[in-house]
Structure 1
């Protein structure tokens, strides 16, 4: 697959088959992610792979966090929360990308986070090339909650930058229009 074609054709795809994603394919995704650019070779990412038990543990914590935000939740509210978070267990694979900042004194936190986002993009492009559908979510109030960080074995300073839902796509996505780059570009090649 040509890189420009992959970039143009990759889409957020949530409709996926229930087929299991092999560890070999997961390894290919992670290998692609690790080739993201990063300053001082800090490689500030950590990956958390959730299959059945992991997805269920995350789901249970997510539901509890949501319930804790409600004062005396009704049975209907509980059911709505269970339905809302069901996606965590229904998807074939849930993959987390976290930024684990380096202790290198030259490393800058914003660059560490940017490198981790670049790792996510590499992973998404690899997923597309392998026929997978993917949805990249952040939801920082959930994924960076202390209970979730404990599950993911992350420190307080670490940040989840991506909650990636993965499965083999049911269909190829349609191409969508994008704003022409000219409308979002400033060329400073003239006298300023």
Structure 2
């Protein structure tokens, strides 16, 4: 990564981070994921509720996640569709799956604060991982809402799956896509 003039390392990491969809087969140790999560936990967190918990699927343990995904998908002619089989194999080829879960507080303000904290933790995690040349995709696909998937992986009623993070060393890093200049989205009130 080359440094741009006037941009510090943190800014550069934020600007250069990409969503990764294709991964090398190289494994990542659970200890490294734990180390990165211990950095990420310093996310802003109102009242220090630490409203997050995690499920880490690695090695053969990934099959539990993959089987939950398969069981949550509609069957075709009494069996698994080719699309689902292909997606399941794609998931098998990804080194690590991390499910991020939060309690769903019935108080809207607490729910909003907790969701904001968990989302910030995930971004911290992505940036800390990116610094170590580890990439990921933050998925919120339909299956995370499916009762079969949730039950299979042990997500209790009253808990929200905020993300399934699929993690590994990037096989391919996509080019940056343009973002809108903030000047077009900002209203300055100075009087």
Band of TM-score, shorter chain = 0.7 to 0.9
User: What is the SS of the residue equivalent to 1:14?
Assistant: coil
Distance 1:24 1:45 in 2: 18
Q: In the alignment, which residue of structure 2 is the partner of 1:176?
A: 177
1:184 positional shift:
1.4
Distance, in Å, in 2 between the alignment partners of 1:152 and 1:80 is: 22
Contiguous gaps of at least 5 residues in structure 1: none
CA RMSD of aligned residues (A): 2.4
Gaps of 5+ in 2: 1-7
* Residues matched between the structures, number: 184
What does residue 6 of structure 1 align with? 13
Counterpart for residue 122 of structure 1: 124
Residue 49 (str. 1) matches residue 56 (str. 2): yes
Rounded Cα–Cα distance in structure 2 between residues aligned with 1:187 and 1:2: 28
Q: TM-score, normalised by structure 1?
A: 0.85
Give the TM-score normalised by structure 2.
Answer: 0.85
Say whether 1:156 aligns with 2:163.
no
Q: Does 1:34 align with 2:41?
A: yes
2:94 maps to 1:96: no
Which residue is 2:70 aligned to?
A: 63
The range that moved more, 82-91 or 155-164, is 82-91
